[in-house]
Copies of this chain bind each other. A is one copy, B any other.
Amino acid sequence: MPDSPPPPGPWFALFTEIGILGQLSRAMLEARLPPGFLQPHFSVLNHLIRVRDGQTPLALARAFQVPKTTMTHTLAGLERGGLVRMAPNPRDGRSKRVWITDAGRAFREEAIAALSPDLAALTARFPSDRVAAVLPVMAELRAVMDAMRDEDPDDPAQPPPPLVR
């Protein structure tokens, strides 16, 4: 078996595309944000609106699949800019809760507005029907990989599947 193994299946190819698309979309967004703000800042604000306010930093870290230290850093940036407000959690003295401020809402809306020409240009070249068509597949794949991460017994991590909840 002297053959050099080709990357198995379409997985490598897909992950390569995903990686590059991630960088391109990130660059597109960040070109429209005020200096000092990056994609994670926008994404967190967006999440606070789309999902809900008042979550803990750890919940946000899990939602974005980043280490909690990274989320601490991102939230500190948002708080410095007055885009979120953080307060101790009365229910749990260890944790905090995070709310978006009016300035944060405005920031998000301005970013979306600033981005709309880019998205329009994109839609002209790549109809959003096609995006809508692949979206459920990508979402499901994300969910599957997300779940695997919490299961993998080979990974020096989590206890076996949470039996309750």
Contacts and interface: CB of A to CB of B under 8 A. Distances in A.
A17 B138 contact: yes
Interface residues of A, number: 68
Contacts of A134: 14, 134, 137-138
A18 interface: yes
Given A14-B131, A18-B18, A149 B109 contact: no
A133 interface: yes
Contact of A122 (B11, B131, B135): B11
A24 B137 contact: no
Nearest to A128: B9
Given A15-B25, A21-B145, A130 B137 contact: yes
Contacts of A103: none
Contact of A8 (B116, B145, B148): B116
Given A137-B133, A138-B14, A109 B19 contact: no
Interface of A: 4-5, 7-29, 31, 39, 43, 46, 49-50, 64-66, 105, 109, 112-113, 116-117, 119, 121-123, 125-126, 128, 130-135, 137-142, 144-149, 152, 154-155
24 contacts: A4-B49, A5-B112, A8-B116, A9-B131, A10-B131, A10-B132, A12-B46, A14-B134, A14-B135, A14-B138, A15-B29, A16-B46, A18-B138, A19-B43, A21-B145, A23-B65, A24-B142, A122-B145, A125-B148, A126-B140, A130-B141, A131-B141, A134-B137, A134-B138
